[in-house]
Chains A and B, each alone.
Chain A
């Protein structure tokens, strides 16, 4: 096992553990936004798509990398925007003044 692979593996395992720790604390209310937020994070695959695009010299690679870049950007942009829309709704809202005491029993 090469040192590079070993360090990549270390990073991989630690990141998984961090993911478990971070997520298990989120209340159910936020699970859908969270899922959507996590969904946008794997849009990081755009970075990888850019790598293959600049190295694309034949038609097959160029087509594949164009689709990859477009797909990944769709994932990133759509993911973050839709998550933000969901979370926007949780904000503030002038809480309607509650009646002090219920009228009757």
Chain B
């Protein structure tokens, strides 16, 4: 087979790979086909990579350089190192720590895209055509911002870096200055100048920009940031595709760029915030802002034994899991309690707010890991009418998403879609304190006469309830 034929076959294989990515994403529409979709996407990836290897092996070498043994050694060693680390970390990570791992994978993807452009730039002897020049600089800038930004986001979620917003003195000015340096440098290069020092300055500015962009953002907003950076990486990869003149990079990169953008907007919408607002930081204190007990009415504390009686003799119980449950890793504890109640004939459902947990859908993953039957998980629109029939709504570590103040204008959470927890006949909130949630305002639900507050860590509180129900 001559190289022409191979080249055509390889291009067709890339097309198959790209189609598998699209079809795979489409199959991730429903829980039933999602896993299959991911495998389809993975198969597309394998096809694209094997085809690339064949293409590179069959390609006539230029300038008599011959078979580049070192190059192939690099590929093999790189794949073994990266693949081994990926396999190990992905298989051993705890599901609660999964968002930061995804962020880490995102960081290295962006880093690889930036390295391609940097390498390409090092090999230049004259300024490239304007379009390649534009793509190269964009790839370096976006890829570097993603790399450093995702590492910081991952560090925040892992607790290596304080989750609270870190304000850099004169931070806005520093960020602006970095942005200015990047733009001026980029324009200088686009004007047809070939300058390695300028490229390195842009690289450094972009890396620092990624850090200063993410540091001032609170931990609770990290999911939105990770999603945005995921979109950035996709764009950087598409730019790498322009640099190398490779369609499969352009297609896959653009797909991810678009998906990340939509997802970011959905996540921000669910919190009634704009993406811009989040990126500018400085709103609220982030997760776990514990302030003085809320004024305006008093909350009623309730003991585990009383709650156990309420739950055990109810017919319909709706559990509202939130961020606090995820932090306390209480997903197994909640499932235990729910099973116990079901054995007693109580109908138990879970109300999942779109942003419960740390990412949209994260709560579903956590509960599924704890073997909670999937049909019991209800999305907001489906469960809201059912609160009217519920005897007890058990809120575990959720706050702002249950605040009735969101229905009125004039509050920071106004307009945010909430779970109609206050429609239940009786409400029990497991919470460590009267501390405020992310929005930094008091939750009117807590001072509702129907509400009893069980002050405890989510895990301890649920364990106490389980013990109390068993003792009945």
B434 part of interface (Cβ distance < 8 Å) = no
Q: Are A15 and B86 in contact (CB under 8 A)?
A: no
A-chain residues with CB within 8 Å of residue B429 when the two chains form the complex: none
A68 to chain B, nearest CB (A): 4
Contact with A34, one of B25, B108, B241, B315 (Cβ below 8 angstroms): B25
Contact with B26, one of A17, A22, A31 (Cβ below 8 angstroms): A22
A77-105: CB near B (< 8 Å → 1, else 0) gives 11111111111111101011011011111
Known contacts A30-B29, A32-B365, A64-B115, A41 near B56 by CB under 8 Å: no
Q: Are A23 and B364 in contact (CB under 8 A)?
A: no
Interface 9-residue window, one of B159-167, B250-258, B295-303: B250-258
Contact with B374, one of A44, A55, A83, A93 (Cβ below 8 angstroms): A93
Q: Are B253 and A74 in contact (CB under 8 A)?
A: no
Q: Are A75 and B365 in contact (CB under 8 A)?
A: no
Interface 9-residue window, one of B1-9, B210-218, B232-240: B232-240
Known contacts A41-B256, A71-B109, A56 near B364 by CB under 8 Å: no
Contact with B238, one of A12, A46, A73 (Cβ below 8 angstroms): A12
Can you name the residue of chain B whose Cβ is closest to the Cβ of A75?
B109
B181 part of interface (Cβ distance < 8 Å) = no
Q: How far is the CA of A55 from the CA of B260 in the complex (A)?
A: 32
Q: How far is the CA of A53 from the CA of B239 in the complex (A)?
A: 18
Contact with A82, one of B65, B102, B255, B354 (Cβ below 8 angstroms): B102
B-chain residues with CB within 8 Å of residue A77 when the two chains form the complex: 82-83, 86-87, 90
Known contacts A23-B262, A56-B68, A69 near B78 by CB under 8 Å: yes
**A19, A26, A61, A68, most chain B CB atoms within 10 A:** A19
B-chain residues with CB within 8 Å of residue A8 when the two chains form the complex: 241-242, 245, 247, 250
A29-72: CB near B (< 8 Å → 1, else 0) gives 11111111111111111111111111111001110111111111
B326 to chain A, nearest CB (A): 12
Q: Are A47 and B52 in contact (CB under 8 A)?
A: yes
Q: Are A38 and B256 in contact (CB under 8 A)?
A: yes
Contact with A26, one of B28, B230, B237, B242 (Cβ below 8 angstroms): B28
Q: How far is the CA of A98 from the CA of B338 in the complex (A)?
A: 12
Contact with B87, one of A32, A53, A78 (Cβ below 8 angstroms): A78
A-chain residues with CB within 8 Å of residue B41 when the two chains form the complex: 37, 40-41, 80
B71 part of interface (Cβ distance < 8 Å) = yes
Q: Are A81 and B87 in contact (CB under 8 A)?
A: yes
A-chain residues with CB within 8 Å of residue B99 when the two chains form the complex: 32
Known contacts A49-B78, A64-B115, A39 near B257 by CB under 8 Å: no
Interface 9-residue window, one of B285-293, B341-349, B393-401, B460-468: B341-349
A–B Cβ pairs within 8 angstroms, 26 of them: A8-B250, A15-B18, A15-B238, A15-B250, A15-B254, A19-B25, A38-B255, A38-B260, A39-B230, A42-B237, A44-B48, A45-B237, A47-B248, A48-B113, A48-B244, A51-B116, A64-B115, A66-B78, A67-B112, A77-B87, A78-B85, A78-B89, A81-B91, A86-B95, A89-B365, A95-B373
Given A15-B251, A31-B267, 7 more pairs with CB closer than 8 A = A1-B131, A8-B241, A8-B247, A17-B258, A50-B49, A65-B78, A67-B115
Q: Which 8 residue pairs of A and B lie closest in terms of their CB atoms, listed nearest first?
A: A19-B258, A69-B78, A73-B82, A78-B86, A77-B86, A103-B345, A31-B360, A15-B254
**Interface on A for B, CB 8 Å cutoff?**
1-2, 4-5, 8, 11-13, 15-20, 22-57, 60-62, 64-91, 93, 95-96, 98-99, 101-105
